[in-house]
Structure formats: structure tokens, C-alpha cells
Amino acid sequence: MNPAGSASSSSRPPPLVIVGASYAGTQLADSLRRLGYDAPIIMLGDEAHAPYQRPPLSKGLLSGKSSAASLALKGPDFFREQDIELRLGTRAVALDPGRQTLSLADGSALRYGGLALATGARCRTLALPGASLAGVHNLRTLDDALALDAALSGASRACIIGGGFIGLEAAAALTGRGLKVTLIETHPQLLARSLPAAMACYLEQKQRDGGVDIRLGQGVRQLRGAAGRVTGVELADGSVLDCDLVVLGIGVQPNDELARQAGIACDNGILTDALGRTDAPHVYAIGDVANALQPEVPGMPRRLRLESIQAANDGARALASALAGRPEPYTGAPWFWSDQFALKLQMAGLALPGDETVIRGDMAADRFSVFYLRNGRIAAAHSINRPGEHMLSRKLISAAIPATPEMLRDESFDLKHLAASA
């Protein structure tokens, strides 16, 4: 369906312009074509690479299990066959919602019928002396990962600053490549923003068992170097950790500058409704840059900026439904995953302090799930090496199925019976 009405090829409506060529942008274009949307679509990507998968950058690519060539999101003919104009190496610099124009870095401008901002997020910068030394790496883009991978061949010791998922995945990958790895986290707990303490402590021990030296509650004073290259990390207590390279895993910030400069409402990302619509007509936001309205769940915030493939893809599908004239907000539970050593951690829902915790399985055997009950219903679940339970938990959380601790703890009780009632 073309919301602008039918038009001949000589009088086609202004295009939908998608700024960002990663998961959200690609999914939006794909979903629109599947829904019969036949207006022109132009997708702008500021990288030189066609849309690619990001999770393998800190997982398979760094560990040597994946190649750059295997990361493409779509086949080489997809964009041509779907009549999607993909412009790589193209950066948008300004937006005028009143005139419905987008200015590009090369001095040209695009007039749009609709504008979808899928600009994602970028790594936070380390504002300390030595942060610009050679050998200090971010890990967000394919070029970042390739540069880090190339640096590993001449390195034996690495310091990772930041104990979030990127830091832990990089620590596991680099340890597997034979480097001696030290991970530094200013907070007394790993993954403090992401996981309850018990699960974070479990992963911390597995990292230590894998050979990673973890320093918790340690600030960094500066990075030391010689001849322009990093040689060590000086901690707040004055001690120095020698290293050949540093990986920064200190979080990301949304690329919401285009929207902010255009006067569009932003707060930790671009504010949208459940369908990706901003407060500016014909301007939308999806993916890591969007702070989107969420389904009403007791105890949960009404807005979240979720940094995940699932949120990017589901938000894009919801926006596509609205643009195609069949609005359908996404209501499923958020989910994420992380690979570290031989562990696959899969997370569904969002756990809150005060949730009742139920363990199903054997933590010592590294095959278990932790369920979080809120008001007698499953609100979140974390599974280690139990993909089947993860898939079931997503369904149970989305359907708000009642459950008891006894049911969940008893491995002879088939969770499919609960899922069947959803």
C-alpha cells in the first residue's frame, strides 16, 4: 500500500528517507516492501560497508569463528530487487522538518515525504589523558573490529575498561586468542545496569575461571604510552597495569543530534510513541536512538531506549505497519543475548529489584534458568545454555502468565503447559 496514493513512475511521491543502514533501517525498508509500500525508499549509511550484523563483532569475529564476509544483513541483490536506493558513505548533517528537507555532508539536500531516523548510537569517549594513543580501541563498527583483530597478532596483554556486555564478550574472545586480559570496572559489580547481583556474580566467576583478571571498584586515572602507543593503564590508586592494547567498553550514547538541532523532543534519545512517531510531522525514529513508549507494565518505566537487535527490528516493523496504513505496535517482551566462553546467556523481560527469584536447573553445571516473578507472574528470565526455556519464557512474559515458584523450580513440570495457556 502506498499511503500517498497511486502514482505513475513520472510523478512518484517524495521518498521515504531512512538515515541509518543497520538493523532498524534495513528492517524498516524490508518490512515496508513486504507490506506493499511502493513509494520510493532511500537509505543513507555513513559507513562504507553495506548493512552488516553487529553482535558477531564482539563474539564470532574477534574469536576467529566468523569472517567479515559472513556478516552481511542482506544478500547482494536485495536492495536492487526491492527498489531501495542504498547510498553508502553518505552523512546527513541537518534536518528541516518544516520544509521536509535533509541536508547532506556533500552540500546536497533531499526532500522527503517521510524521514526515519535510525542513526543508532556511538561509543562514549574516555575523557582521560592518553585516550587518543595508538592501541586504544573502541568496538562498535566493523572497522573497529577489524582494526582490533589486526592488532591482536602483535599483542600479548590487553586491558579492557568497562564491565558491561561488550567488555565481557571482548574479554572472553581475547582470552581465547591467547592474550592475558585484565578487565577494569569502576562499579563494585559487573553489569550493574543490566543484571541483578546474583547473575552478575555468576558471570564474574566464569570470567575469572576463564583466566580474566577482574578489577572491580577501580577507577582509571590515565593511559600511559611511549612513542605515541599505549603501554599501560594507571589506576586511581596509582598502580599501573602493563598492556599492549586497550579496549574501551564504557557504554554508548544515542546519535540524536539531527533531531535535537531540528527542535524534535529528545531525552536520552529521540522521544517516540509506540509506533516510532516523533513530535514532528513525517519524522520517525527507531532502533538504538529511539526512546520509545512501552506497553504499560506494573513497576516498569513507560519509556525505554533499548539497545538490542530485537528492539531495532520490532520497532522497525511497528513503524512499517503505521506507514503502510495498518498500525500495529509491538507488545512483546524485550530480549537480548550474550556469548562468553562456553556460555550462552539469553535474557527476556526486564528484572526489577524486589522481584521473587526462582532458579530452575543446576548453576554448577552451567545449564539453568533464573525466573523473576512479579505479582505472581513471570516478569523476566535469564537462561544459561537453555535456549528452549528462553524461547518459552519470552512467550510467558509477553502473555503475563501466572506461575508459582514451585512450578518453575520443579524440572519435571513441563513449562510448555504454561505456554499452551497463553
Q: Do domains 125-250 and 342-420 have the same CATH topology?
A: no
Question: Was domain 125-250 assigned CATH 2.40.160.10?
Answer: no
Neighbours of 297 (CB within 10 A): 17
What are the tens digits of pLDDT across the range 3-50? 433 344 457 789 999 999 999 999 999 999 999 999 999 999 999 999
Question: Mean pLDDT in the chain?
Answer: 94
Measure the CA–CA gap between 185 and 189, rounded to whole angstroms.
8
What are the tens digits of pLDDT across the range 303-349? 999 999 999 999 999 999 999 999 999 888 899 999 999 999 999 99
pTM for the whole structure: 0.93
- Report domain extents, the chain: 16-122+253-324, 125-250, 342-420
β 136-137/245-248 pair status: parallel
Distance between alpha carbon 386 and the CA centroid of its chain, in Å? 22
| Close Cβ partners of 129 (under 8 Å, ≥ 6 residues apart) | 222, 223
Measure the CA–CA gap between 197 and 193, rounded to whole angstroms.
10
Measure the CA–CA gap between 155 and 62, rounded to whole angstroms.
14
What are the tens digits of pLDDT across the range 68-105? 989 999 998 999 999 999 999 999 999 999 999 999 99
Measure the CA–CA gap between 322 and 306, rounded to whole angstroms.
20
Q: What fold, for 342-420?
A: Enolase-like; domain 1 (3.30.390)
Classify domain 16-122+253-324 by CATH architecture.
3-Layer(bba) Sandwich (3.50)
For residue 117, which phi and psi values (nearest 5 degrees)? -90, 110
